[in-house]
A and B are shown apart, each in its own frame.
Chain A
Amino acid sequence: MMERAELAAHIPRLRRYARALVGDSHRADDLVQDTLERSMVKFHLWRRGSDMRAWLFTIMHNVFVNQLKTRRELALDDAAEAALQSAPQSDPLELRDLDAALRQLPADQREVLLLVGLEQLSYAETGKALGIPIGTVMSRLSRARERLRELMSVAPAAVANLKVVK
């Protein structure tokens, strides 16, 4: 009982992470919904007293990876376009650029960057959530940050133009 309501209390943060991970808000909530459904099915596997948030991130990671397998991720250009369109025009350019740039990172690097930078998980927690050793966390983090830096240093128009290439 207590646990079930605790699950509900984690929803806002799951939504934040999912939004950053997949971009589109409807798809992000689909991901959260699938994560909640699976977590309720697997509830008996959760160890009482352990960190529920970390456990939920692990489930979300598994759901996300399954989605990538069953239907290939949106083509880069579509994703970038969707991201640009979904961002409110009032956002500073830099914010919209970041969202578009995140879409262009490989999914495994994006997950690490978001869990560390946005969700502020420790490197050990991140590795545990994604089922990878800490060395892999560090190499993905390092590559993600360098790639993001390159993408962000490109003129905004160049990022936007990617969507034209069909």
Chain B
Amino acid sequence: MSNLTDFDFHAYTDGQLDDARRIRVEAHLAHDAQTAESVRNWREQNETMRALYNPVLNEPVPQRLLDVRATRWRWPSYALAAGAMCLSFALGWILHANQGDLLARTAALPRRAAIAHAVYVPEVRHPVEVGADQQDHLVKWLSKRLGAELKVPLLTQQGFELVGGRLLPGGKGPVAQFMYQDAKGQRITLYISIRDTESRDTAFRFSQEDKIAVFYWIDGNLGYALSANMDRASLLAVATSVYRQLNS
């Protein structure tokens, strides 16, 4: 006797059921062709939506979005329509007037790398855009977007496997991020950006960004930063290997 509901079938479609429930749904679908057909159709809808809109992730971010300031207000009708919002806007203006552009005061390479690390490492369901199973495609795509030949270091000896990579907006154009993971689920990210004019330093350096340790260096026109939530000594072994492989 089944007490499965529509909720279960939708949650099954979206991968939101625990194992026990999922197994029950699968058993049910095996002899309920009509519901199985619905689930198949819903899955196809999800997949088609992703196929249609995922390419937006790889478009360059329009400059006007990176230039957003707290003080701008394009539609006065809004402010008129909501008096309360005027108040919060005024407060925001006072509080944030000096904070400038979204990226203007973003610090250099290690800080940006640590931020990207902090944003994407906790992602359970979509930590990367392109997985390691499509490594060739991944490297070609990111190389094309950065306009430089990228190499992906092999960290198997250090116990880390490539998870995949993604494209991110940076201060000066696109940035590539590769993510690695060890058997315990510990993650490391390698952040590669086009060198900005201010940073001339090419040395191998260390920076502690909150809880995130970052080793970074500049080679030719590329800046590299390796970030992890681990102590300096442990990350150093990995960073040395990455540095040797990329600069050989």
**Footprint of B on A, CB under 8 Å?**
1-2, 4-13, 15-17, 19-20, 29, 32-34, 36-37, 40-44, 52, 66, 70, 91, 94-95, 98-99, 102, 113-114, 116-118, 120, 122-123, 138, 141-142, 145, 148-149, 152
Contacts and interface: CB of A to CB of B under 8 A. Distances in A.
Given A41-B88, A42-B88, A149-B41, A12 B72 contact: no
Contacts, number: 157
Nearest to A95: B52
B87 to A, nearest CB: 11
A122 B119 CA distance: 18
Interface in B91-113: 92-93, 95-96, 99, 102-103, 105-107, 111-112
A2 to B, nearest CB: 6
Given A7-B102, A12-B61, A114-B49, A70 B92 contact: no
Contacts of A123: 11, 14, 16
A116 B125 CA distance: 13
Interface stretch (B63-71, B136-144, B220-228, B238-246): B63-71
Q: Which of A20, A42, A98, A117 has the most CB of B within 10 A?
A: A117
Contacts of B58: 12
21 contacts: A2-B209, A4-B99, A4-B106, A8-B102, A8-B106, A10-B119, A16-B56, A19-B53, A33-B68, A36-B102, A37-B68, A37-B74, A40-B102, A41-B96, A43-B70, A94-B48, A95-B48, A114-B49, A122-B16, A141-B10, A145-B41
A36 B126 contact: no
B116 A9 contact: yes
B54 interface: yes
Interface residues of B, number: 65
A138 B6 contact: yes
Given A4-B105, A118-B46, A138-B10, 20 more contacts: A2-B115, A9-B120, A10-B119, A12-B56, A12-B58, A15-B57, A15-B65, A32-B65, A36-B65, A37-B68, A37-B73, A40-B92, A40-B96, A66-B81, A98-B52, A120-B125, A122-B16, A123-B16, A145-B41, A152-B45
Contacts of A118: 46, 49-50, 53
Contacts of B62: 29
Contacts of B52: 20, 91, 95, 98-99
Given A10-B119, A138-B7, A41 B89 contact: yes
A contacts with B: majority SS: helix
Interface string B11-38: 1001010000000000000000000001
Interface in B149-187: 167-169
| Max chain B C-beta neighbours (<10 A), residue from A41, A116, A117, A152 | A41
Contacts of B118: 2, 6
